[in-house]
């Protein structure tokens, strides 16, 4: 690598760090302003969400400094934007209710990112002196995919726990107008029967359909997580198979920090 190439890469790295610092500053300042406004409006639940967001913003820095893991700038920026989109825009700004697909977009990104983390875990273990093993590209891609899906399932468990014990309604309900069930068969046979629903009365209030309590939301979340995980698993397969074409994938993969050799 010649001198000009080294200088060009150094400038690119400095610019990337400046961009990350600027984004972090803007997001953090925005959260603080919103938190003050929510406190003045006595929306203490939103104040808690803002405090939680500020704590979550510290996770990338904690990983970099304490866990001996280096996060690529691209991944770190996406994590910060993801946290802001989920907590501030989604919860405080009600984007989950305003935009139907907001939650789906976040779960898709979540599936993509955790597939990258799963792939990075294998890569870090493979480079370790204690755990050195070689895996076929297909198997690595499968592990990456399965890790992401496992995280997705655990998150749905968390949402169900919060809904059940803290009445948070994280698993959003869906109004449906048609139900298919064997329960509706007049002779009690195991044959599904479909009925259309014109209205449902709940405590004297009429609704346009039956209220599904989170099942559809959960399945859609897992499906879009599946899409995100599949996309990165495909990239991961080619990353492992052809190590030369790896620039895009490495932007999303945490790495173990290189230890400086003693002089």
| pLDDT per position as a tens digit, 161-189 | 989 998 888 899 988 999 999 999 999 99
111 and 50 inside one domain: no
Write down the pLDDT at residue 125.
78
116 and 152 in one domain?
A: yes
Query: Are residues 162 and 250 both part of a single domain?
Result: yes
110 and 86 share a domain? no
Domain identity same for 75 and 105: no
Q: Is 129 a domain residue?
A: yes
Predicted TM-score (pTM) above 0.95 = no
pLDDT of res. 50: 97
133 in the same domain as 29: no
User: Residue 167 carries which DSSP code?
Assistant: -
Number of domains present in the structure of the chain = 2
For residue 229, give both structure tokens: 């995980």
Structure confidence at residue 3 as a pLDDT band (50, 70, 90): low
Q: Which residue has the tokens 């990353």?
A: 239
Beta bridge partners of 206: 201
231-252 average pLDDT score: 85
20 and 72 fall within a common domain? yes
What is the rounded CA–CA span in Å between residue 20 and residue 30? 15
Higher pLDDT, 31 or 246: 31
Domain membership of residue 201 (yes or no) is: no
Q: Is residue 156 part of a domain?
A: yes
Question: Domain range holding 106?
Answer: 100-173+213-256
Quote the pLDDT of residue 188. Answer: 93
pLDDT score of 93: 96
CB atoms within 10 A of CB 57: 18
Average pLDDT rounded to a whole number, residues 2-6: 62
In a domain, 49, yes or no: yes
The pair of structure tokens assigned to 253 is 């993969």
Three-state SS string over 230-252 comes to HHHHHHHHHHHHCCCCCHHHHCC
- Calpha distance 122→143 (Å, rounded): 8
Which pLDDT score is estimated for 262? 44
Please report whether residue 191 resides in a domain: no
Other Cβ atoms within 10 Å of 6 Cβ, number: 10
pLDDT number for residue 14: 61
- Are 123 and 231 found together in one domain? yes
């Amino acid at each position: 690598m010649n001198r000009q190439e080294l200088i060009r890469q150094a400038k690119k790295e400095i610019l990337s760090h400046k961009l990350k610092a600027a984004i972090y500053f803007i997001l953090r300042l925005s959260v603080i302003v919103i938190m003050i406004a929510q406190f003045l409006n006595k929306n203490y639940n939103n104040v808690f969400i803002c405090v939680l967001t500020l704590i979550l913003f510290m996770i990338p820095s904690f990983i970099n400094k304490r866990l001996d893991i280096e996060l690529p700038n691209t991944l770190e920026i996406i994590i910060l934007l993801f946290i802001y989109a989920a907590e501030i825009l989604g919860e405080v700004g009600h984007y989950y209710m305003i935009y139907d697909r907001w939650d789906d977009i976040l779960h898709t990104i979540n599936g993509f990112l955790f597939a990258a983390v799963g792939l990075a875990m294998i890569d870090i273990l493979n480079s370790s002196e204690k755990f050195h093993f070689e895996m076929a590209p297909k198997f690595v891609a499968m592990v990456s995919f399965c890790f992401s899906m496992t995280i997705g399932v655990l998150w749905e468990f968390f949402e169900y726990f919060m809904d059940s014990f803290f009445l948070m309604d994280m698993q959003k309900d869906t109004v449906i107008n048609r139900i298919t069930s064997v329960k509706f068969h007049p002779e009690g046979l195991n044959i599904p029967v479909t009925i259309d629903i014109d209205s449902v009365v709940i405590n004297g209030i009429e609704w346009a359909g039956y209220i599904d309590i989170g099942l559809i939301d959960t399945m859609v979340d897992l499906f879009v997580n599946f899409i995100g995980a599949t996309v990165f698993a495909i990239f991961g397969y080619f990353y492992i198979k052809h190590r030369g074409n790896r620039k895009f994938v490495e932007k999303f993969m945490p790495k173990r920090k290189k230890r400086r050799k003693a002089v």
